[in-house]
Copies of this chain bind each other. A is one copy, B any other.
Amino acid sequence: MTGAGDEPTVPVGDFARLDLGRERRRGHGEAVFCEGKTAGQVREIARELVFRGARTLFTRASDGHAAAVREVAPDARHVQDARMLAWPAEPPAPAGGPVVVLAAGTSDLPVAREAVVTATHLGRGTELIADVGVAGLHRLLAHLDTLRAARAVVVAAGMDGALPTVVAGLISAPVVAVPTSVGYGASFGGVAALLTMLNACAPGVAVVNIDNGYGAGHLAAQIAAPA
């Protein structure tokens, strides 16, 4: 493991270390998880990335984090309800297969939007369809053709989290299921939906963490990547 030094690493102050080899190694650039970082730390990380021209997403960004990024990257795109920023603002030209993102209910939209922004800025064509929960199946069935044309389908759902298993039963592409923390008491902040998705009786459901729209969008982008 003496060869560990061949990956480019850039220190930022004494609090961060940029992994610039990620683009080459993984096919996609850096993402900066802002929660738990100070605005100042995020700003310095952003400054370094912009200086090096590295395509970057900022996730879980509060308004304070967003302002800090804008200080050094005034042209970054800020999608407030998804708590994300993208730099540069313009996504790459779409490549690979289409990604469809479903929000079971209107309240699941912020998480769904996070997936859309992520997949888009990783270079996929995406489409968002909202409010198609299983309490009224016909709303979903009306979109069957779109769903069957997708290379990956992201489904954001809270409460019972039943939508991914229904979608998976109807199509051949993988379903990326992202539970949301929407719901009454015994949803336990998304745990109920998470368990539903892990126990989907239809195979083909890939589960990510609660409210992790970024992770869902990233996984869908990888699945739908050009061969």
- Tell me the bound Cα distance from A214 to B174 in angstroms: 15
- Tell me the bound Cα distance from A3 to B168 in angstroms: 19
Task: Place the interface of chain A in its size category.
Answer: 35 or more
> B192 touching A138 by the CB < 8 A rule?
no
Q: Given B45, B196, B218, which contacts A204 in the complex, CB threshold below 8 Å?
A: B218
- Tell me the bound Cα distance from A35 to B183 in angstroms: 8
> A160 touching B196 by the CB < 8 A rule?
yes
> B104 touching A171 by the CB < 8 A rule?
no
Given known A174-B223, A203-B219, contact A135–B17 (CB-CB < 8 A): no
- Tell me the bound Cα distance from A21 to B183 in angstroms: 24
So how many copies of this chain end up in the complex?
8
Q: What 5 A-B pairs are tightest by C-beta distance, nearest first?
A: A185-B210, A36-B107, A206-B206, A4-B141, A27-B172
User: 30 pairs across A/B with beta carbons < 8 Å?
Assistant: A1-B6, A1-B137, A3-B4, A6-B138, A15-B130, A22-B136, A25-B172, A31-B203, A134-B165, A134-B202, A136-B169, A137-B166, A159-B201, A160-B165, A172-B222, A179-B185, A184-B209, A184-B212, A185-B189, A185-B191, A185-B194, A185-B210, A186-B194, A187-B199, A187-B209, A192-B196, A192-B199, A198-B208, A205-B219, A207-B208
